[in-house]
Amino acid sequence: DWTSDVFIDASIADLKAKIGSDKVVMGLSGGVDSSVAATLIHRAIGENLICVFVDNGLLRKNEFEEVLDSYKHMGLNVIGVDAKQKFYDALAGVTDPEAKRKAIGNAFIEVFDEESNKLEGVKWLGQGTIYPDVIESISVKGPSATIKSHHNVGGLPDFMKLSVVEPLNTLFKDEVREVGRALEIVEKIIGRHPFPGPGLGIRILGDVTADKVKTLQEVDYIFIQGLKDHGLYDQVWQAGAMLLPIQSVGVMGDERTYEKVVALRAVGSVDGMTADWIHLPYEFLGKISNEIINKVKGVNRVVYDISSKPPATIEWE
């Protein structure tokens, strides 16, 4: 029978044997998988694991600072890199969803390569790959897929010459969470919803700018905080907001407005392969809609996405 404690002991012994006194570099995303994988490797080899957490400017509001802080509290050896502008530059004028993913993936590779080249004597690349990623599934659009396509296209980044270590590649998401809890990782990280690697970059339909990111961060924050405050967060598998590339007419006081529309999305799912839209209470939706329109400058309309997957996907891009 699988238990997290047995898994953890075996995994740590295995990692120690495999890695010995070598150094490992690993990119952290703030998500469950990379955080659990890093903690496990850290338990095995301590300071020889060097983590890199990149601010791509497409994270949720305050996420970079808060998550970096959690990592430091967990004792991880982590380098925080502010690369916001690099990502915004790479995204300027790019509107096609797959082109955006590529731009974001390539910018990430550049930043990560630059950081790992500063480190001496690294032999391994740690990754938070989990079993469903291995069997195609959601990682088809994920960062590892991006790295692969990059790899096929041209020069191999230096960090790709490292041997890969993926301690979670036999686990499902619920098992990863169980392992994370047994490792005493804070619930704030373990219980968090999945968040796509390209982040808000694929929730801003059309081209991405720093201003649009700011707007969407505020909208998303109100929605996610609302879910938490109303005890709904844990009943939802994933939630977020999309900034639509259209404006609609509204009225404020005696003034006509012509401003942005945002869509809220909350789904239930097991693995992201299929998903049902969640019947959030009307009162809740009404309250959140009012709060968004009152507080977020430039948004005058909120809609709720009632499509399931398939045929719709969870993300809009």
DSSP letter (8 states) at residue 195: -
Is 35 annotated as a binding-site member? yes
Using the rule CB under 6 A, is 102 a contact of ligand XMP?
no
Grouping H, G, I as helix, E, B as strand and the rest as coil, residue 1 is coil
Contacts with ligand XMP, 40-69, as mask; x by CB under 6 A: ------------------------------
CB of 296 to ligand XMP, least distance (A): 22
Q: How many CB atoms lie within 10 A of CB 190?
A: 18
State how far the Cα of 268 lies from the Cα of 236, in Å rounded to an integer: 5
Task: Let me know how long the chain is.
Answer: 317
Is 234 annotated as a binding-site member? no
- β-strand 49-55 against 23-28: which pairing, if any? parallel
First to last CA, the chain: 40
Q: Which is nearer to ligand XMP, 163 or 313 (CB)?
A: 313
**Identity of the residue numbered 279:** H
In the list 238, 263, 266, 289, the residue contacting ligand XMP (rule: CB under 6 A) is 238
CA distances from 282 to 159, 258, 270, 278, 304 (A): 49, 25, 24, 11, 10
In the list 102, 141, 173, 203, the residue contacting ligand XMP (rule: CB under 6 A) is 141
Using the rule CB under 6 A, is 142 a contact of ligand XMP?
yes
Using the rule CB under 6 A, is 30 a contact of ligand XMP?
no
* Paired tokens of 269: 């799912």
Is 57 annotated as a binding-site member? no
Q: Which is nearer to ligand XMP, 8 or 239 (CB)?
A: 239
State how far the Cα of 151 lies from the Cα of 125, in Å rounded to an integer: 15
Question: According to CB under 6 A, which residues from 194 to 223 bind ligand XMP?
Answer: 194, 196-198
Total binding residues toward ligand XMP, as defined by CB under 6 A = 15
CB of 31 to ligand XMP, least distance (A): 8
In the complex, which residues of this chain contact ligand XMP (CB under 6 A)? 101, 138, 141-143, 194, 196-198, 238, 272, 309, 313-315
